[in-house]
Chain A
Amino acid sequence: MWSKVYRRERRSTRFPFSIKYGDELRGYLFVLPCLLMLVIVLGFPVVTAVANSFTPLWSETKNFTLENYSGLLSDELFWNALSVTFIFVGGTVFFHLLLGMVLALTLNWMIKGRSWFQVIAILPWTVPDVVSGLVWRFMYNPTSGIINHILMSVGWTDRYIEWLANPSLALPSVIIADVWRGYPFVMIILLAGLQAIPEDYYEAAKVNGANVFQRFYYITIPCLARIIYIALALDTIWQMRRFGLIYNMSMGGPGHVTEILSLYIYKHYFKYFNFEYASALAVVMAIIMLAISYPYIRMIARRET
């Protein structure tokens, strides 16, 4: 409703000599380079990938076939990769949100030293995920890594835990490493949202005798709902695309327990050279990601007009 009013107002205050259609053309001209580039670097590969996914594997003829997609349904490793991806994304996003929220609230509360602490809090996010993967891999090193060393000096364990080689520990270990790397991004967005909540709301609640938890539940959460959703949507997408971290920590191993979808597709492309099958896998992944982000895109694009 507000957007409509805004638009009408914008039209009416437009300058007398700017004609509507001329303006429309200028708008296109400004946007054109961006669109051209996106068509070349994104549009073309997407169309090719979709076309490839419908052609038979290893074949010269380009007949239409669905065999890649039907093959995918009975591919156990695909289902494995899918479930690993959901656990990885679910786990990391959950902890990103949890830690991000705790830290955003803390930063929002802090009076002294806030700017300093904010700098420290964001630092891990700026490191390339390849680097954080490597550092954590060495921290997890059973004999010369710091993590076992700390656990042993505290007395929580007396044997060398094989964090990344143990099939049941590998995925949680990778998730923990990624939580370190990724939560600051969620924190930044949540903090900005917290700072946008008017102080009066809290004052009013305080006057009426609401305690900290009530204020959090009845003011912070509802005011922050949209921002939380945005942070969740963006983070989910980022995490589904994550590649370098796992590539360097475990290469999907041991076995296939940490083989997320992007890594599995990469292997089909450039290790086994099953281009057509890999395309079909990638198309499925793209559909999943677009489906997850559709409400987000709709919400933002609508708000912008």
Chain B
Amino acid sequence: MRRVKYLPTIVVSIIVVVFTFYNFTPFGWMVSTSFKSEKEAYRIPPTVFPQKPTTESYEQIIIWTNFPRYFFNSTVVSLGASLLSTIVGALAGYGFSRFIFRGRTFLIGAILASQMLPGVLLVGPYFKLLTRVALYNTYIGLILAFTTITLPFSTWMMKGFIDTVPRELDMAGLVDGCSYPKVFLNLVFPIITPGMVATIIFAFILAWGDLLWVLVLTSGEAMTTVTLGLSRLVTQFRIIWPQLMAGSVIGALPPVTLYLILQKNLVRGLTAGAVKE
């Protein structure tokens, strides 16, 4: 009886240890390699930890490549797309949550279905469209493109959050003579701020990680983002792994940090639409 009592604890501990190891190994390998010299990175057999840790890869990638520029571009584009889609998504979420109108079910279905469209279907015509309106290779063009990925999710997440705000609050506002925009801005908005932050982060992570759209809609170093820059480094004739891993660490830093700071919000936001009954 005693053994059975402790069995779950033992099983849980084993699982925790195994998964922690599994999750951290690639991170560890990435960080470890980024601090190795090029010579050490190719040593056979490989060293697990850098024996002479050096920051030369970071220096090289920051000083000798356009990586800071890529980083800046990624930031601008991802922030733009996540802010835009969250604001627009919040408005739409409010509309879907509070009003009953004709075609509502259809529109909800359409927004859900729009997530299911593959990027490769959109990217070709979108490329032609952008070149025609002179938005090819611009921030605005990229931001609009990223909203195709982020907007449906943002709308859905914001609707989930707004659904949790009691309607009585709106009604109280209306009785006191607020208009609907005022109700939204002064009453609902403050309550859903954590939800909006979660949505912005989720959209940011999505936009930051995208490769396909940047690959197609930009050309030249000036508009390259982190993901595209890394992909270019790896298709070069000679791959310098420590540099590439240093770039990967830098590239992974913003989404990982944002997640670590605001992970409670994010988890709640992701599940708001899925689990609520």
Asked if A258 lies at the interface with its beta carbon under 8 angstroms from chain B, I say no
A77 CB–B CB distance under 8 Å: no
Q: Which of chain B's residues have a CB closer than 8 A to the CB of A106? A: 12, 15-16, 19
Interface SS of chain A: helix
Shortest Cβ distance from A278 into B: residue: B124
**A15 and B122 contact, Cβ closer than 8 Å, known pairs A134-B230, A134-B248:** no
Q: For window 31-46 of chain A, which residues contact chain B by CB distance below 8 Å?
A: 31, 33-35, 37-38, 40-42, 44-46
In this complex, which of A17, A38, A52, A292 has the most chain B Cβ atoms within 10 angstroms of its Cβ?
A38
Among A30, A152, A296, contact of B45 (Cβ-Cβ < 8 Å): A152
A269 to B217, CA, bound (A): 13
Collect the chain B residues with CB atoms within 8 Å of residue A7's CB: 100
Tell me the number of A-to-B contacts counted with CB atoms below 8 Å.
Answer: 320
Size bracket of the A interface: 35 or more
Q: Let me know if B105 and A305 touch, CB within 8 A.
A: yes
B227: CB under 8 A from chain A? yes
Could you say which residues of chain B place their CB within 8 Å of the CB of A28?
A: 95, 101
Residue on B nearest A269 in the bound complex, by CB:
B124
* Cβ of B65 to closest chain A Cβ, rounded Å: 15
A214 at the interface (CB under 8 A from B): no
Q: Is the CB of A27 within 8 A of B95?
A: yes
Chain A residues with Cβ under 8 A from B185's Cβ?
A: none
A residues within 8 Å of B by Cβ?
7, 10-11, 13, 15, 17-18, 23-31, 33-35, 37-38, 40-42, 44-46, 48-49, 52, 102-103, 106, 109-110, 113, 117-124, 126-132, 134-139, 141, 143-146, 149, 152, 180, 185, 188-189, 192-193, 196, 227, 230-231, 234, 237, 240-241, 243-244, 247-248, 251, 261-262, 265-266, 269-270, 275, 278-279, 282-283, 285-286, 289-290, 292-293, 296-298, 300-302, 304-305
Residues of B within 8 A of A (CB): 8, 12, 15-16, 19-20, 22-27, 29-30, 33, 41-46, 48, 88-89, 91-92, 94-96, 98-102, 104-126, 128-129, 144-145, 147-148, 151-152, 155, 167, 171, 174-175, 180, 184, 205, 208-212, 215-216, 226-227, 230-231, 234-235, 241, 244-245, 248, 251-252, 255-256, 258-260, 263, 267, 270-271, 273-275, 277
List 18 additional contacts besides A45-B121, A48-B125; criterion CB under 8 Å.
Answer: A11-B100, A17-B174, A27-B99, A30-B180, A41-B148, A103-B19, A106-B19, A128-B208, A128-B227, A134-B230, A135-B29, A189-B274, A193-B275, A244-B231, A247-B211, A279-B124, A286-B117, A301-B106
